[in-house]
Structures are given as structure tokens and as C-alpha cells.
Amino acid sequence: MTSALLPAAASHPPQEPALLSQYRHVRSATEAMVADLSDADATVQSMDDASPAKWHLAHTTWFFEEFVLGARLPDYEPVDPQYRYLFNSYYEAVGARHPRPRRGLLTRPSLDEVLAYREAVDEAMESLLMRAQTDDEAALITLGLHHEQQHQELLLTDILHLFAQNPLRPAYAPTLPSPVIADPRPAPEWIAFPGGVVTIGHSGDGFAFDCEGPRHQVLLHPYLLCSHPVSNHQWFEFIEDGGYQSTGLWLSDGWRWVCDNQIEAPLYWEERDGTWWQMTLRGMQPVDPDSPVTHVSFFEADAFARWAERRLPTEAEWEHAAHNLPATGNFAEGRALRPLPDRQNTAGSLRQMFGDVWEWTGSAFLPYPRFRPREGAVGEYNGKFMSSQMVLRGGSCVTAESHIRASYRNFFYPHQRWQFTGVRLADDV
């Protein structure tokens, strides 16, 4: 007989599948980023390279509708057939699409309608995720989640660029007090690596984009890597020494870019009464001399390295140096939303390799040996962009921490700098 004084056996709801939990986490994180944006904030497009926040919300949803629901559920009906045209990005195999430079003209659908679109697709996806997936299905959904994390970063950098065009300089997020930094701050050091035949590329353990493999060997000569990324203080010296006026420091295309666009400082910098300020996601802020410099192009990074009588690391050198380091740092989850100074007084080691700023390398974005893109439309994800772009490594202050790893290859054109891009110097032994 069971005593009435004993508690009844607890009933626990079944544990939700891990992939469903991950799906909910990523999707909710995206929507949290737009919670305080108006419909106008989310609609306007500030330049051809950027996209409206509303478009990011819809495109990442279209990805799941197009490649997962539409492909895996024979009776699935699209929320709106016109969205296939409006929110395709560059997938030629899918069909025609709205021109990228004109995304800001999509006043309809409204932000509320796009959020309703997300809700409808999420409902269908969650039903799908409650049952078991094949390995191919799980891999495709995981790709979609990492694709969305890429767009989370783009959403924030595009909002920053948009707000920087507004003479009111509105803040995306409220100002935070300055962080407490260890004192004295460690001076940059040179960390030596012996080189030799090393293996780079993703190991195959966990998720990676196709361009991160195949794993392969490269020969590295002994090299040095600076312990810290280049700081704003160092960039002040570059400016004061006439770096932007010295023809001999610049690649030919870079010098033409400087002259054509009258470049005199990193993007978002403004000089006020002899003091540099910069536009951030928290509004206009004084440039912190101890923080890593950001919003510089490959052309600027290369010119700075030449001015410093150093060079940029190759991507193989960068990955070799970082492969045993924990991928921790100042990421989006920390909510700083800007690069920060080194918080630890640690000498003799590489610092801030992950987070804060993407670091330009001297390597072109090209396929690794034996690389083959996936079949079908998803195969257009990376391989078609392996031309005229340069590799960056390490993630930034608006990258999701779970999205980054040592083998991650980001890539942009040499003139682009609206992302949180910075510099770490290298040299030969």
C-alpha cells in the first residue's frame, strides 16, 4: 500500500531532440536581434553590399523552406510562393531572384509579415524535428543553422552601416560602462613557430563548411606571429606618419581605391577637435587606443604591414598557430558589440586569436587540394566564390561563439571593410 503522505512519482516531459533545441536557440537569437528595430529600420538598405534586417530574417527562413521542407515533405505548401523569388540570394539552381542592390525597395512584405513567415516555417520545422532524421537531413538542417548564424553577424554589421549613414548616429544598443582591464596591459610580443610540414583543414569531427576541407599537408617555413592584433594606438601612428598618403606602401589596386574614395582612416572614424571617434553599435564612442583596430580593408591591412616592415600571416600559418587554442573570446554572446582590449596580463602567448576582430590573412580564398563542392543547389554555398577574395580568420565581436573554430575560412573582397575586420602581423624568422 502506498502511503498518502508520499509524493506521487514525478512525471517528466520527454527530452526534446538535440537538433530541435539547437534550432530553437539559433532562431530565437536572430529574432532577439531585431526586437527593438522599427519596420523602417529593418527595411532600408544602406549600400549594395548590405541587406536589410528584414531580408536577413526572411532569407534564412526561405533556406529552411526551400531546402528542407520543400525537398523533404512531398505535401508541403509554401507560405507564399512569391517568397521564392524575393528571398533567394544567389542560388542559380533554384531560379530567378530579386536583384541584391534593390532589396531595400521591398517595403512589402512588412516586418510583421516576415516574422509571421518565420513563425509558420518554424512550426513546420519543429514538427519535422520531433521525428528522427536521416544523416543527410540532419546535416542539411545543421548547415541551415550555421548559415543563419552567418546572417546574424551580417544583420548586425549591416545595421551598423545603416545607422552610420544617419546624421543622428542612432545607437542599436545602449551604452555600456567601460570594461575593467588588467593593468599594466601586456605589450605585443613575437611568438615563434618552427614551421615544417603541418596539417590544416577541418578534422571531420563536428560541423564544418565544405571549403574548410579536405584536410591536407602544407610546408611552413619558420615564422613569427604577433601576440596581439594591431591596436587603434598603432593605427594612430600609421595615420600620423602619413600612411594613407604614402604611395609606396600600397598595392596598385589599393592606392587607386584610396584615391578614388578619399580614404584617410578606418571606416566609421571621425576626427573631432583632434580626437578620433567612431560609430559603433552603441552609438558614437571615442576610439579606444588599446582595442584592436577594426573596419579596415585588406588593402589597408597590407599597407600597414608594409609600413611596420612586417607582413600578413598566411591562412595556413594562422591555423597552425591557433589549432590547439580554445575558441573563446569576445563574441556576440558577451554583448560588448565592439572589440575590447586584452583583459588578461598574460605574457608569452597568443592573445585574442578568436573573437574581437576577423583577421586578414595574405591568402586568397581558393579551393584546398581535392576540394569538391556538394551536388545540387547547396553546392553553390562556397565554391562559386573562390575568386578575387581574401581569407580572414578567427571571428569577431558579433560572431556567435558556437559558430567559430580554427579551420573556419571567412572571405571578403580586398576593398570591403564594413565587417569587423582587423589585422595581426607576421614575419619570417
Kindly report the pTM of this predicted structure: 0.94
Q: What pLDDT shows up at residue 377? A: 67
**18-164 maps to which CATH number?**
1.20.120
**190-428 maps to which CATH number?**
3.90.1580.10
- Nearest residue to 146 via CA among 54, 212, 78: 212
C-alpha cell recorded at residue 6? 508520499
Domain ranges of the chain: 18-164, 190-428
Q: What pLDDT shows up at residue 181? A: 59
Each of the 429 residues of the chain gets a pLDDT tens digit; together they read 333 333 344 444 556 799 999 999 999 999 999 999 999 999 999 999 999 999 999 999 999 999 999 988 889 999 999 999 999 998 888 899 999 999 999 999 999 999 999 999 999 999 999 998 999 999 999 999 999 999 999 999 999 999 999 999 999 998 876 666 556 667 889 999 999 999 999 999 999 999 999 999 999 999 999 999 999 999 999 999 999 999 999 999 999 999 999 999 999 999 999 999 999 999 999 999 999 999 999 999 999 999 999 999 999 999 999 999 999 999 999 999 999 999 776 778 999 999 999 999 999 999 999 998 877 667 666 777 888 999 999 999 999 999 999 999 999 999 999 999 999 999 999
Q: What pLDDT shows up at residue 9? A: 40
Q: What pLDDT shows up at residue 190? A: 97
Cα–Cα distance between 361 and 317 in angstroms, integer? Answer: 9
